[in-house]
Structure formats: structure tokens, C-alpha cells
Amino acid sequence: MYSYISLKVDCPHCGKSLMDSKKLIDDIPSIRMNISLEGNNGTINLSSFYGSYQYESSLMIKNGTEYTFSCPFCNENITSDSICDECSSQMIPLHIRDGGKVRFCSRAGCKNHNVQFEDLSHIHDYFHLNIGTPEVVEINNKAEKKEQKELIKSGTFLHIYCPHCENGLIEKNSVLFKVINQYDERGYLLLSPYLNVFANQSTVFIPEGAVAKDILCPFCDESLIAKNVVCEKCSAPAVEVIVAALRRMIEFFFCTKKGCHWHNLCDEDLQYVMLEDSIYW
């Protein structure tokens, strides 16, 4: 069973809601905006389901064409300095009502979009507050599920949480852990939060190929060693954390052996999420 989250968005200029309850797309209120191209003006209603590309427009939309979007209330153009990393077009930012932004590409047919939360704690709150609402649709069809499986690309910034206290583990652009090495020395371990980027630093010495005796949450001091999961490459104990993917919170495992780059998801999450192969292996 697969869940879509409905985003409720506002204009970044005037703050008015862009949600249109009179025009339903995917059977829920849509996002209404003005759209224009070379003097031709119209309206567009986009699906508010994150991951859905359904829309209706009064203009004839041509794939591959970059359009201008504006607010239907204040008529201000909605633009940003952010450039699409798929096609180099301008990204269109909208404010998520509960904090954060969603951006989508201004080029018709380009499916690049992303969500950015201002406070990492908002990710956990947003998913858990919205997952039980009527605006969440569940897909049971296997073909649809496969088509909509989320790909987390190499280099993606992972928002990482402790599975015990649910505190965010990101500190100054690194993932922060407490670590105990094989000599029972205690210190801190800093890992890159970017998928398949294996940079690391430690305040205690951990030789290459050594297995950390324990890795703990820096907030609650609970061990993060998984009880029933080991590294599939070297059989060392695995660490378990929680990662906020685009549509759900997922369990993420990585190896305690320094130099081993194995990481994986649990079997259930692998039904919905794929990790792109490392460009470093």
C-alpha cells in the first residue's frame, strides 16, 4: 500500500492560499495559479499530491516549453534563483502552510520537484499529521506502485533522525553520533549526510577496517546498533537511523565497519523507495 501526501500551499508574496476547493484534481482540492507564455495568459490547476503530475489548464500546454507562473490574487510573478538540475529551467517556489517550500520546474514535461522544510522537526510533524487525513490516497495496484517508486539519488541530502528520541542528527552539515571504539574510548563521529558520499571524521581513533564497538544518539544516548540487521558485505553490526524520504519516514541502515560503504533499507521500505547506486564504488 502506497501513500501520497497532499501539500497545502500559499503564495510566497501575498501569503494567500493557492488551494482551489472548487476544482478537484486527483479528487482533492488543486493548486490554482496563473500561467502565461509570450502574451498568452491563462490559468492552471495542478494536483496537490506530491508526486502526481496531473493538471488542467485553459492554455494548450506544450511539453518542453518554459512557462511563467503568477499568483491569481496579487498577480506577482512567482520565480526564484533556483535552477532545475534536470533541464536548467527556473524552479517555481510555493510556501507550504506548515513551514517550508515546495519547488517545481517551470518547463512543461519536466518532473523535477523537491520539498525543503525550514525546521527539520517539521518533516516528522508534517508526515505524521497528514498521513491520516482524507487527502491521502493509497495505491494498491502493483503497476502503479512500481511506477511511483521514489528514487533517492546519489548526492541527495538525507534528513536523519534518531529512531528512539526522534531528534534530528544533523549538526553543521554533518550527521553527528557518539561513538565508542575498540579501545573503549568515547568520542564523536561525523558522517556526510549526502547519499553515497562517505566522508567522515571522528574525535577518537578508528583504524580503517575496524568495527566501532557502539554508535549512539548524541541526545538520548541510546545505542543505534540494529538488533536484527548486519552488513550484507562484511557481516559487521549495522546502525539503524530514520530518514525522511519525500513521502514517508524510512528505516536506513549502514555498516559499523570503517571503510565499508554498505547501506540499505528494510524490506518494507524497499517496496516504495530505491537508493541510487553509489558513484564512488
For residue 151, list its beta bridge partners.
274
Strand partners for 58? none
Name beta bridge partners: 178.
Answer: 188, 216
Residue (of 55, 270, 31, 43) closest to 135 by Cα position: 31
pLDDT score at 134: 40
- Annotated domain spans of the chain: 2-143, 160-275
What's the CA gap between 237 and 239, in Å, rounded? 7
Q: Which segments of the chain have a pLDDT < 50?
A: 1-4, 119-121, 124, 128, 131-147, 278-281
Are the C-beta atoms of residues 64 and 161 closer than 8 Å to each other?
Answer: no
Instruction: Give whole-number Cα distances, 187 to 180, 191, 192, 216, in Å.
Output: 7, 13, 17, 10
Which distant-in-sequence residues (6+ apart) come within 8 Å of 39 by Cβ?
A: none
Tell me the backbone φ, ψ of residue 121, rounded to 5 degrees. Answer: -65, -20
List Cα–Cα distances, 217 to 165, 166, 177, 243, in angstroms.
Answer: 9, 10, 6, 14
* Rounded to 5°, angle at Cα 226 from 223 and 227: 105
> Exposed, middle or buried by CB within 10 Å (0-12, 13-18, 19+), for 227?
exposed
